[in-house]
Amino acid sequence: MRKPLIAGNWKMFKTTAEAKDFAESFKKLYVSSDIQVAVCAPFTQLKTLKEAFQGTDIKVGAQNMHFAEEGAYTGEISAAMLKEIGVDYCIIGHSERRQFFAETNDTVNKKLHKAFSTGIVPIMCVGESLEERDAEAAFEVVKSQMAAGLKDITAEQAQSLVIAYEPVWAIGTGRTASPEQANEMCGFIRDIIEELYDDDVADKIVIQYGGSVKSSNAADIMNMEEIDGALVGGASLVPEEFIQIVNF
C-alpha cells in the first residue's frame, strides 16, 4: 500500500525567519494522517525547519545536492551535509535545474546514487516541455529521462524512490495538466518501472504530479488512480493554502 506524499517546493522563497513563522503556523493546522507531508526548502532554512517540526511527522527536504562526497565545488552542498542536519528528501532533476543550471539525465543519475548511499530519499523529476508535447514526443521524452536517470539503480533502492511527473509547460504558468493527462503519464511511468524492474517495485513506488497544484484542483488530481501525491510550488508557501492541499 503506497503512502501518498505531498511535498512543498519553496524554490527560492522565504528567509529563515519567514520559514520559522510558516512552520509554527502550519503545525497548528496540521493533523497527522495517512498522507506523508514534506517541505523542501532552500539550504539556509533546512536546519530551522527540522528543529521546528521536531516531534511531528512532517518531513524536510532539500531542493538539490551534489553527487560528489566533497571537493572543490564552490557553491555546492553534499549529501553528507544534508544528512548531518537530518534532511529526509531531496528533489533531484527539477525542470528549473535542468533549464537554468545544466542538469542532465547523467547528473540526475549520479545524484540518485549518492542520495541512496547516504540514506536520503530522492524525488526524481521528469516531464516534457510544451514543444515536446505538441510534437507528440511526451512519452518518448519521459521514458528517456526515466531510463537514463535510473541507470544501475537497484530494485531495492527504486522501491523507496519518489518520482514527480512535472510537465514543464504547467510549472509556474497557471496551466495544469488535466487529471486525466496527469494520470495517463503517471500510469505510463509506472509501466516503465515495471519494465525496468518488476510489478512489485512498480506497485510500491510513489509517483507524484507537479505543476500548478493548488487547493482548487488538488482533490481532482489526487483522486486519480495512478497519482500518489503532489509536488506543490507556490501554493506551498502559504500555510492555510498548503494545508488545504494536504487535506484534499
At residue 42, what is the residue type? P
- Count Cβ atoms within 10 A of the Cβ of residue 137 and give its class: 0-12 exposed, 13-18 middle, 19 or more buried: middle
Tell me if 10 is assigned to a ligand binding site.
yes
- Identify the H or E element spanning 151: none
Tell me if 247 is assigned to a ligand binding site.
no
DSSP calls for 176-239: ---HHHHHHHHHHHHHHHHHHS-HHHHHH-EEEEESS--TTTHHHHHTSTT--EEEESGGGGSH
CA distance 181 to 188: 11
- Whether 166 sits among the annotated catalytic residues: the reply is yes
| Active-site residue identified among 96, 103, 128, 166 | 166
**How many other C-beta atoms lie within 10 A of the C-beta of residue 135?**
12
Backbone torsions φ then ψ of 223, nearest 5 degrees? -85, 0
At residue 21, what is the residue type? D
Tell me if 86 is assigned to a ligand binding site.
no
Tell me if 217 is assigned to a ligand binding site.
no
| Active-site residue identified among 66, 94, 132, 241 | 94
Tell me if 9 is assigned to a ligand binding site.
yes
Cα 35 to the center of its chain, rounded Å: 15
CA distance 16 to 141: 37
Return the C-alpha cell found at 43: 539550504
Contact 139, 188 (CB under 8 A): yes
Tell me if 187 is assigned to a ligand binding site.
no
- Whether 94 sits among the annotated catalytic residues: the reply is yes
Return the C-alpha cell found at 119: 540514506
Mind telling me the catalytic residues? 94, 166
Residues making up the binding site for substrate: 9-11, 172, 212, 233-234
Residues making up the binding site: 9-11, 172, 212, 233-234
